[in-house]
Structure 1
Amino acid sequence: MKLIYFFLALVLTASLSGCSKLLDKKPITDLPAEEFWKSKNDLKSGMAGVYSGIQQMLSNNYLIWGDIRSDNLEQGGNNNFRVHFVNALTATTVGSDWTPIYSAIGNINTALKYVATIRSRDASINETEVNDNLAQLYAMRAYCYFTIIRLWGKAPIWTEPYEDITQSPLKARSSVDSVMNLVILPDLAKAISLFDPTKVRVVWYVNAGMAYALLTDVYMWRKEYAKAIEASQNLIGKYDLLPKDRWKELFIAPDQDNSNKAENIWSLPWDWNVNGTSGLYNQLSNGSNSVSCGMDIDLYNRWVADRYTDIRFSLTTDTNSTSRQKHPKFIPVNLDANKMQIYPKNGQQNTHYCIYRMADILLLRAEALVHLNRFPEAQDLINAVKVRAGLKPIILGGGDVEGAVDIILMERQKELFCESKRWYDLVRNDRVPTVMNPIVFRRSNFLSDWGTDLRKILWPINRTVMNSNSLLESNPPYSD
């Protein structure tokens, strides 16, 4: 009897011509996987369960992994992330558990095995449908493993479902290069080869654009700038920036623009009616005095100088709040008679987790161009984002690569604030000590900055994870 069962999803599904969203996965059966993947309805429900796994993986961790350790945020009205803000992570710190990612990977591995042969059980499913679903799965698995190696470094590799109780459930960690070369890059190559580039895009579903966006991100992480430019070229002309007066739509209605040149590439929906309040809403904009995060004072002071020209500032943070602890970026503008933002009660707000959009890719591409001394091309891309925000274009002088990268990173910090990008930007560009040491030192009453020990850039592996797998080695300098 196989050990792992694939939980079916109680979801609302729709055809690709609609805009219905994949909702939360609810266990409603313990039917073995080999008895489940038999029909088109099974395929829809099974894929919904996979997407739900990604939702659960990111719900609370989207901000924790991508922003909270960076210079975007500081302690808000409670102490939920005190240790994150002062770089005092331990093996029990919230966010240190990679189990949600491996749960998502397990769902993906099971789906990959059975989707590949589902046509033999339901002839109404055509080859194009199978290929498209396989492509989505490969791209999502690459995204999961890319997340793991950026946060923890070495990682156990699972590419097959664990279905045989006689096989050991324990694996040691493989090197980052092994994960990259055995899983991430091959999975993205498979995804790109299987996607139909003519298919109508739906922002809630992984698509060819997401695969190229992720590939661009991967090559930037590896500092393979020519390859990043090549990958991002596949998105030029297929996606574009929304006009300035529609910037807010990117976060509250990413499916509203159905044109062939929409900006959103992939967004994950969170329906509070089904899933409850999202972690992102609780952490940023629940309207109470106990919001977990405030905008870091240094960023606020730099940005507020442009408050009358940069439309992003007032749409990102509540300018009527003196605490810097309310960020309505991901909720609709809803003002009372006194022009104060009204926050939904009791977390009754749908949330859209923006994973990739074109502004992100244009700025990554600009960064790659700078490293190849193609400054005029990089300048055009930077200015496209700046002018859209309401700012004046800049002249990017040639020759100073690091200075140009700093300009791009500052633009990314504002444009992509709390979109789970900033921490990775700092790590990718070796900026963690120079940017974060003075900030962490300012925040703490004891020296907890990185100093020269860059090993602390990686996360500790959660104690429960370590205790459940004797083959794992912890990340130094953390203790188990």
Structure 2
Amino acid sequence: MNTLRKIHLAFFTLLLVTGATSCKKWLTLKPSDGIVGDTFWQTKEQLASAVNGIYASLIGNPPGITDRSMAEYLFMWGELRGDMVIPSNGATNYDIDIYNVNLQSTNTIVNWRGIYRTINYCNTVIKLAPGVLTKDKTLTQEQLGSYLSEAYTIRALMYFYLVRSFGDVPLKLNATTSDDQLEQLPKSKQAEVLDQIVNDLKTAEMTAVFTYGNTASDKGRVTKYTIYSLMADVYLWMDKYNDCITACDNVINSGRFGLITNRNFFYQIYDLGNSNESIFEFQYSKEALNPFYPMFTTTKRRYQASDAVMETIYTIDYVNPDSIDYRADGASVISSSNLISKFLFDATADASYNHWIVYRYADILLMKAEALNQLGRGPEALKLLYDVRRRSHAQPATDPAPDPNSVDQVTDFIVAERAREFSFEGKRWYDVLRNAKRNNYARLDIILDMVRTAVPPERQQSALNKYRDHNSHYFPVYFYELSTDKNLEQNPFYQ
């Protein structure tokens, strides 16, 4: 947690000009030791800038800080331990070590500083925003509540990534607004952090808006539907299936979202962005490029799709070449080169700004299907799953025709369909782990079967032995944090 103690809170803001298009500009609001109440938190405009700074931290780094972008971490954390991505020519040793299940605490991919930096921005807004109400009489209680709901929700989202990736993590709910507020924290249990996430989301739900009045803001900022989507995901991780279904139904019954069913749905979702299917996206632009062009293209690309993506996950119809899954070749991947193309529509080195999608409507349908299946309502679950498959023109070869009353068979179908629907969206490892760990790891085979197909043959036995230890399913704490925060302990598998 020492990362937080040493950050100079250089809030930077993202100004959104909405309409037919949106424009983003970076502004440094304060370059040094904190944003203190007597110099900054005076007006509703300053409060808006601080909240925009939270969103800005999701798509880039503050001035003077060199790090990977948030979306790059979320991609790596959700995909590199799965079976759909492999290292390519430009892969680092850190990438290869994760692929070979040889993860150590010195691997920079497990550095959580960016996540906690955003959490601290949220904490700062939560702490200092209420004071603006007494200083700026034009700020309404409703506006304040909306801003706070955004901070609570993004904090919850960040902690959700942390607990799924590291297990037990430090739970910091107080703002570090200057360097004299030094604090070292031990880890909190995963269950405690999950309870805090739920509390944050319930708090946020009370004052969040349904709409900001324009599409770019509704898709790029927190609304009640963002909160419902995250709630569904958290409840599913916690095995609270009825609560998950309720959260999903809040989105479904709103009538504001739907599956795009025309042949060009992929272009609408991933190239144009902010589609009718979208619920929450990181909003990249010409002024704030995404990280994917150098990651996935050129001769120095770090990652590419595994052969299994086309051969077994989507499959190829060799008899009828016109029969294709619309999400497969030419959409998520280029089969001739295994290039990951999902976030590269019309992209160039100087113009790569396809959005990173956190939640969309298909996710809601498949999360609800998973919850229904766990409650023994397999036929209802399969109906939702087939809705997603039909619009995507999924191949018959990928339909195992499961027994609707077999929880395990329907589970396997859902996990496989989520791989097809959300390929390279940073969800694969979390989907596999969530289903494997359920009921005290009754389905550990889901992870082990994936290892058998993904890990190089000469390393498979070692990888299988490691993954049989449940503690190995979480990242190690980055070595620098351990050396600077003596209250932290290394995760058990790496001790």
User: Percent identity over the alignment?
Assistant: 24
How far apart are the structure 2 equivalents of 1:113 and 1:45?
15
C-alpha contact (below 8 Å) 1:267/1:353 kept by paired residues = yes
1:29 to 31, 34, 46: 31
Partner of 2:76: 64
Partner of 1:265: 279
Partner of 1:337: none
Per-residue CA deviations over 1:418-455 (Å, capped at 9, x if unaligned) read 11111100110115532333135435557431422221
Match status 1:468 vs 2:484: yes
CA RMSD of aligned residues (A): 2.5
Structure 1, gaps ≥5 residues long: 334-342
Matched ranges for 1:412-431 at <5 A: 412-430=418-436, 431=444
CA change 1:163–1:45 in 2 (3 A) is: closer
Partner of 2:342: 329
CA change 1:422–1:268 in 2 (3 A) is: same
C-alpha contact (below 8 Å) 1:12/1:20 kept by paired residues = no
Matched ranges for 1:212-361 at <5 A: 212-236=228-252, 237-244=255-262, 245-255=264-274, 257=275, 262-271=276-285, 273-275=286-288, 277-284=289-296, 286=297, 288-302=298-312, 303-306=314-317, 308-319=323-334, 322-324=336-338, 326-332=339-345, 344=348, 346-361=349-364
Match status 1:207 vs 2:223: yes
Per-residue CA deviations over 1:172-223 (Å, capped at 9, x if unaligned) read 1111111122x20110000111113365462111111110100000011011
CA change 1:304–1:290 in 2 (3 A) is: farther
- Alpha-carbon distance, 1:157 to partner: 1.3
Match status 1:195 vs 2:208: yes
How far apart are the structure 2 equivalents of 1:32 and 1:419?
34
How far apart are the structure 2 equivalents of 1:5 and 1:120?
27
Partner of 1:46: 50
C-alpha contact (below 8 Å) 2:235/2:244 kept by paired residues = yes
How far apart are the structure 2 equivalents of 1:21 and 1:224?
40
C-alpha contact (below 8 Å) 2:59/2:290 kept by paired residues = no
- Alpha-carbon distance, 1:409 to partner: 1.1
Matched ranges for 1:57-96 at <5 A: 58-80=70-92, 81-96=95-110
Aligned length: 455
CA change 1:281–1:27 in 2 (3 A) is: farther
- Alpha-carbon distance, 1:5 to partner: 5.9
Any idea what SS the aligned residue of 2:408 has? helix
Any idea what SS the aligned residue of 1:265 has? strand
1:348 alignment partner AA: A
Match status 1:185 vs 2:235: no
1:297 alignment partner AA: D
Partner of 1:402: 408
How far apart are the structure 2 equivalents of 1:82 and 1:73?
11
- Alpha-carbon distance, 1:142 to partner: 0.6
CA change 1:33–1:274 in 2 (3 A) is: farther
C-alpha contact (below 8 Å) 2:166/2:476 kept by paired residues = yes
Partner of 1:122: 136
Match status 1:9 vs 2:4: no
Partner of 2:390: 387
Any idea what SS the aligned residue of 2:121 has? helix
How far apart are the structure 2 equivalents of 1:392 and 1:96?
37
2:230 alignment partner AA: L
Any idea what SS the aligned residue of 1:193 has? helix
- Alpha-carbon distance, 1:76 to partner: 1.5
Partner of 2:147: 133
How far apart are the structure 1 equivalents of 2:364 and 2:283?
21
Any idea what SS the aligned residue of 1:92 has? coil
How far apart are the structure 1 equivalents of 2:133 and 2:20?
24
Structure 2, gaps ≥5 residues long: 61-68, 437-443
How far apart are the structure 1 equivalents of 2:12 and 2:361?
31
How far apart are the structure 2 equivalents of 1:73 and 1:133?
37
How far apart are the structure 2 equivalents of 1:267 and 1:454?
32
2:49 alignment partner AA: S
1:76 alignment partner AA: S
C-alpha contact (below 8 Å) 2:153/2:204 kept by paired residues = yes
- Higher mean alpha-carbon deviation, 96-105 vs 6-15, is at 6-15
CA change 1:316–1:23 in 2 (3 A) is: farther
C-alpha contact (below 8 Å) 1:90/1:460 kept by paired residues = yes
Normalised to the residue count of structure 2, the TM-score between the two structures is 0.85
CA change 1:315–1:203 in 2 (3 A) is: farther
CA change 1:152–1:21 in 2 (3 A) is: farther
Any idea what SS the aligned residue of 2:22 has? coil
